[in-house]
Structures are given as structure tokens and as C-alpha cells.
Structure 1
Amino acid sequence: MTRIIDGNAIASDIEADVQASVETLRDAGVQPGLATVLMSDDGASETYVSMKQQACDDLGIDGRHHEIDADAPADDLFDRIDDLNADESVHGILVQMPVPDHVEKRAVLERIDPEKDVDGFHPENVGRLVAGNARYKPCTPHGVQKILAAEGIETEGKEAVVVGRSDIVGKPMANLFIQYGDGGNATTTVCHSRTDDLAAKTREADILVAAAGVPEMIDGEMVKEGATVIDVGINRVDADTEKGYELVGDVDFESAKAKAGAITPVPGGVGPLTIAMLLYNTVKAASRQSGVGVDLA
């Protein structure tokens, strides 16, 4: 029987540890704080930020949301980031992507204080990750590691294939798989839009991570018998539903489930872990900046 991985349950366990660490910090007079910044009229981005703020409220983190008009000059965003960098009550800063075309994304990421970069996207933090000394692991790839650990799925010596090479998921995921230590030591292949005979590569995977942003591009014929399939994709496709759409992953769930040993659904798989690890990083940042130790696995 294929095991359907319950991301919500795994995220709940992590959030319980995060909440205990929040209480430890608060007992020491430190209130962990996360600032989210939105410079967009995109409805999906608004929803994502709202979910992150609600999660802060649920766990006792001081969530503060800042909105900047999408047509405002780029300096308005940079000035706000500077203010948050200087605010000692703010331990983590997240600028929701995408930003408008007139704002350079890389400049935004570089503007955030690396100690407050709880997404792990500042070049300094990327470098530390590659060097094997991560300050904050990017939330979604770290969440994938937590899923594998919770399910008892060993990575050492396994063939891991990552489909997608984004800075947010694909690249850091591959880097985590090849690191020494728990959750690493895998032989890792990164595939992308220019990969010849993608199916031949994915069929070699003991652990297959789909993170290309293409609805249901991975089907059962591309999955090795008994493989672990981790579907990072969240795609809206037209459907005869009340909303007029449904959410699907980068994996054709039904056909892949017939071959996989374990698989994450969409929704309810990787998604909950992304937010849980953001809160994890925020509490870790508060601990680092205050010098108050916490017990985070």
C-alpha cells in the first residue's frame, strides 16, 4: 500500500516545538517578531501573507504586516526594509514575492539584514548553505527534509532527483541533499526544462522531488516502483467546482500513487511545512539575536 504523507500532522508537531520555544523566549523577556512586507496587488500573494500572519497569531509570534503601494517608487520598499533592519523587536523579515517589475528582486533580497533573512535567500545565507554551515535553511526545502525525517525515509546513499532549479526550491533542495549529515548524503541529480529524456532520470529516483511549477508533469510512468514522491507544486487549473478551479501539484497524483511507496498530496503535503519552517526560522532568529537558547530540533 502506498503511504499518503500527512503534511498537516508533521507541521503540527513542528509548530508545537516552535510554540514551546516561543514560550521560553517570552519567559526570558523576548517576544519573537516577524515582519511581512507586501508590495503587490496579486491576490495569491495577499492570501499567502494572510496565512503567515495567522500562523504567527496562533503560535504567539508578534506578526506585523506592512503594505506598500505596487506603483510606489522602489525606494519606498527599500526604506521600509531599512527601518525593519534597525528595529530590534523585529527578528525576521519576509518580503513577499513577486515584487513589481520596477523593483529589482535581487536588490530586495540583498537589502534585508542576513540575520533577519528568515527565508534564507540573502546571498550570504545562500553561501553559508552551500558551504554546509546554514544560518537559516530555506523554508520549503527544509520542510521536505522534515517530512522525510518524520516518515523515516533515509536519504544517505539514495538516488535523489530534483525536478526544477529555482532559487527558492530546486537549488537549495539539491544542496541539502548532498550535504554531509542527517537529511543529506544522497546522490543527487537536478533536472530542468532543458533536460533530455526527463523520464529516464526520474525513474532512477529513490526520492523524487517535483518542483518545476508545471501542473501534473510527472506521471506514474516516470516514477520508480516504491519511490518516495514529494510534490512541491501548487497550481491552479480550471475545474468544474464552485470556485472554478482546483489545486493540483506537479505530479499526477493518481497515476504516481500506483507506483510510489510514499507520496505527498496537494494540498496537505509540503505546503503546511513551508509556513511551519518560516516560524521555525523566525524563532531561531529571535534566539540568535537575543542570546536566549531554545530547543529546536
Structure 2
Amino acid sequence: MSGARLIDGKAIAADVIARVTIDAAALLESTGTIPGLAVIIVGMDPASQVYVASKARIAEACGFRSLQHTLPESTSQSALSRLVQALNADPTIHGILIQLPLPRHLNTLQIIGLMLPEKDVDGLNEINAGRVALGDVERAFVPCTPAGSMVLIRSVMSDLRGLKAVVMGRSNLVGKPISSLLLAADCTVTVAHSQTVDLAEVCRQADVLVAAVGRPEIVKGDWIKPGAIVIDVGISRIPAEGINTRLVGDVAYAEAAMRASAITPVPGGVGPMTIAMLMNNTLLSAQRASAVLNK
């Protein structure tokens, strides 16, 4: 059907997880430190529960200490703030992840801002976001989905200098940080969004196209520049034959694969890398904390 290379996020994520597991064991042997990851989830959304359980299972497989705090939907701002502050103060916890979105009555930015930057392994705190925007990725925790997306892009082409990159989406979680990462890689970056005029034509200019708008199969095959690298961050469930549903991304995969040089599938592309980079960031936090303690 296509000459496009399928970018196997599962396989690349497995390699990351394997390296993290080895390095976590080495950290334990040399310093006695066990990386600790605490996940906070507010409410009982079934999809979020499954996702959080997957993170906990992989963390334990990496040799981490994994904690999950499941709070009722009615949790107050002050109660959630106290929990975050308690985790900040706990030296056995190196990473704090707050499962988003939070219920509407909670101030998400305020809660994220309470996390210590050195424990903000999802890279959402304004300190980490600012460091990424300034190109200071050595000190930052890069948000997991953009970080994973960059690993996938570089698995196809390590030197991105001079390429034209188009990022569809301007969210704080994906669009803005991956734009900064692509700029740091010396790409010429265009950020497209709901107000972009002639979105299809903008996308056709992209040597690297990152789609992260959450609109199922909005990117058609003729939006793709021949030979482009396509990273599909979106994931949506749409009706299929009968009463079943299926998962799709923001990109019409079959059409796009006819023109792209390499493309991520949905599922099995960016998703596994997001969790792998969360483990990588948590290990990095534990390594940094151990280095400080052992100075």
C-alpha cells in the first residue's frame, strides 16, 4: 500500500524502558536510591484510570517505587495542594505526575505551579516550560509527549538542520514545547492552529509534520509533502462497522502513508513513547537528587 516507513513507537519505547531499567538498577547498587514516582488522579474517569494503571505497572517493572493517589471528584483545591506539598517534601519521591485534565472546579495552573521543578517529570511547571522555551533542555524536564516525539523523529533522521517543520496545535502540553525542541534542532518552524488560513497548504510545506489537534483524521493524504516525516500525536475513538469503534489519529493514515517517507501509527506510535519518557525523566530526577545528596 505504501512506501512509507512505519515508525514503531512500541519498539523504540521498549528500548528506552530497557535502558531505564538497567540504569535504575545501577543507581540502586551504587547509591541505594530507588526512583520514586507518585501519580495523582482526581475522579474516576475510566480511560484515565487505565492509563494511570499502565504507568504504575511500567514504573514497577523498571524497579521504581510507584505510588498512586486516587482522589474523589469533589476534592478541594486546598486538599490537592496539601498532597502536592507533602510529595514535594518526601525525599523518596522523585517524580510527581498529575493526571490531566483535572475537574473544572480546580485551578490546574496553580496546582502544577506548586510542584517543585525538580520533581515535575511531566515538564508542565512554568520553570521547566520556560527552560524548554529558552532552549535550556539540559536543566529542564521536557514534557513527555514532545520528548518522545523528538526521539521518534530522530530515529528517522538524526540531523534536522534546515528542515521545514509544521506543528499543528499550540497547546502547552504538546504544541508549544515541541515547537521549541524543533527550533533547538535548527528547523524552521511554523505553528498552525484553528485560525490558520489555508491549513492544508501550510502542511504541504512541511518536511516534518507534527499533528496534535485532537481532530480525527483531519490531515488528508494530499496535505502531506512527498517524503515528509509525519508524527501523529492525536488519538480519538470513532465509530466503526456495526457497534464497534476504532482508534485513529489526527492523520488519515492510509492516505498519508502513500506520500510520507515515515509515519507513526495510531495506536502504537507516540503513545508508548510518552510513558517511556516519563520513566526516563523520573530516573533522571532520582539521579540528580542522588548526586546532590552524595556531594
TM-score > 0.5 by shorter chain: yes
Please indicate the TM-score interval, normalised by the length of the shorter structure: over 0.9
Residue 253 to residue 153, structure 1, CA distance change in 2 (3 Å) = farther
Matches within 5 A, 1:28-39: 28-39=31-42
Q: Name the residue aligned to 2:69.
A: 66
Matches within 5 A, 1:82-121: 82-121=85-124
Alignment equivalent of 1:170, drawn from 175, 178, 195: 175
Q: Name the residue aligned to 1:145.
A: 150
Q: Structure 1 segments of 4 or more deviating over 6 A? A: none
- Matched-pair contact (CA < 8 Å) for 2:153–2:231: no
Partner Cα distance (1:153, 1:190) in 2: 22
**Root-mean-square deviation (CA), in Å?**
1.3
Matches within 5 A, 1:1-297: 1-27=3-29, 28-134=31-137, 135-179=140-184, 184-240=185-241, 244-291=244-291
1:189-210 superposed Cα distances (whole Å, 9 cap, x missing partner): 0000000000110000000000
- Report the Cα offset of residue 72 of structure 1: 2.1
- Report the Cα offset of residue 76 of structure 1: 1.3
Amino acid across the alignment from 2:56: Q
- Matched-pair contact (CA < 8 Å) for 2:117–2:127: yes
Q: Which consecutive residues of structure 1, in runs of 5 or more, have no partner in the other structure?
A: none
Q: Secondary structure at the match of 2:214?
A: coil
Residue 7 to residue 241, structure 1, CA distance change in 2 (3 Å) = farther
1:90-127 superposed Cα distances (whole Å, 9 cap, x missing partner): 00000101111110010111011111000001001111
- Matched-pair contact (CA < 8 Å) for 1:213–1:234: yes
1:140-190 superposed Cα distances (whole Å, 9 cap, x missing partner): 1110111122223531110000000110100000000001xxxx1100000
Partner Cα distance (2:292, 2:256) in 1: 45
Partner Cα distance (1:95, 1:194) in 2: 30
Q: Secondary structure at the match of 1:162?
A: strand
Q: Which consecutive residues of structure 2, in runs of 5 or more, have no partner in the other structure?
A: none
How high is the TM-score relative to the length of structure 2?
Answer: 0.95
- Report the Cα offset of residue 73 of structure 1: 1.6
How high is the TM-score relative to the length of structure 1?
Answer: 0.94
- Report the Cα offset of residue 214 of structure 1: 0.4
Amino acid across the alignment from 1:19: T
| More off after superposition, 140-149 vs 199-208 | 140-149
Taking only the aligned residue pairs, the percentage that are identical comes to: 43
Q: Secondary structure at the match of 2:268?
A: coil
Partner Cα distance (1:42, 1:239) in 2: 23
| More off after superposition, 125-134 vs 207-216 | 125-134
